[in-house]
């Protein structure tokens, strides 16, 4: 599997999820384990550009896949991804636990295009829960980046 642009090979039990592979075998702890049932979105990563809950995805199913975690969103030069910058500017996090999943999901949402209105973004990120209630700021941050990068009409 290729994770954040780096090739990894691991000999793991066939029941190991991508989440556990990332955290326990590769030491990439940015992706969070929340509910472990695919309901909170804290574990969202991008697999081949598609946003998926890594707690539900078996690592063997990702043999040869390209996986991007929150650690891989920043550029090789260390510059933050525009969404990471927007989250900081908009204070779109409080406790920060959901932030990695929110960011990966937002990157996927922008890549998918579609309805990037306030309601569309909220619906598109509805699989990512925030116990602190930072939703309005998260939506604002995504809207800022959508508008700045031309990812569709933002009302």
Cβ contact 44:101 at 8 Å: yes
Q: Reduce the DSSP state of residue 67 to 3 states and report it.
A: strand
Distance between CA atoms of residues 108 and 95, nearest Å = 22
Domain spanning 82-149: which CATH class is it, in words?
A: mainly alpha
Listed in order, the ranges of the chain carrying CATH 1.10.150.120 are 82-149
C-beta neighbour count of 39 within 10 angstroms: 13
Cα 67–chain centre separation: 11
- Which of 27, 51, 55 lies closest to 43, judged by CA? 55
What is the helix (H) or strand (E) element at residue 68, kind and residue range?
Answer: strand 66-68
Residues spanned by CATH 3.10.20.30 within the chain? 2-72
- Which pLDDT belongs to residue 151? 73
Architecture of domain 2-72: Roll (3.10)
Q: What is the pTM for the complete model shown?
A: 0.94
Tokens of 52: 């998926």
Residue at token pair 């991804």: 81
Per-residue model confidence as pLDDT tens digits over 81-100: 999 999 999 999 889 999 99
| Under 8 Å between Cβ of 90 and 137 | yes
Instruction: Report the pLDDT value the prediction gives residue 150, as an integer from 0 to 100.
Output: 83
- What residue has token string 């890594």? 54
Low-confidence ranges of the chain (pLDDT < 50): 153
Whether 138 contacts 102, CB under 8 Å? yes
Cα(131)–Cα(135) distance, integer angstroms: 10
Predicted confidence at residue 152, as pLDDT, reads 59
């Amino acid at each position: 599997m290729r994770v954040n642009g780096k090739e990894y090979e691991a000999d793991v039990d066939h029941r190991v999820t991508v989440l556990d592979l990332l955290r326990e075998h590769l030491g990439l702890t940015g992706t969070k384990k929340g509910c472990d049932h695919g309901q909170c979105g804290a574990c969202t990563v991008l697999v081949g550009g598609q946003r998926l809950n890594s707690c539900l995805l078996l690592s063997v199913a990702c043999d040869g896949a390209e996986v991007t975690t929150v650690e891989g969103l920043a550029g090789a030069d260390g510059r933050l991804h525009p969404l990471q910058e927007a989250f900081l500017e908009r204070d779109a996090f409080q406790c920060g636990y959901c932030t990695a999943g929110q960011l990966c999901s937002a990157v996927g949402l922008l890549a998918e295009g579609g309805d990037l209105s306030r309601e569309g973004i909220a619906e598109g990120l509805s699989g990512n829960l925030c116990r602190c209630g930072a939703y309005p700021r998260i939506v604002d941050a995504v809207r800022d980046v959508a508008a700045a990068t031309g990812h569709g009409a933002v009302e």
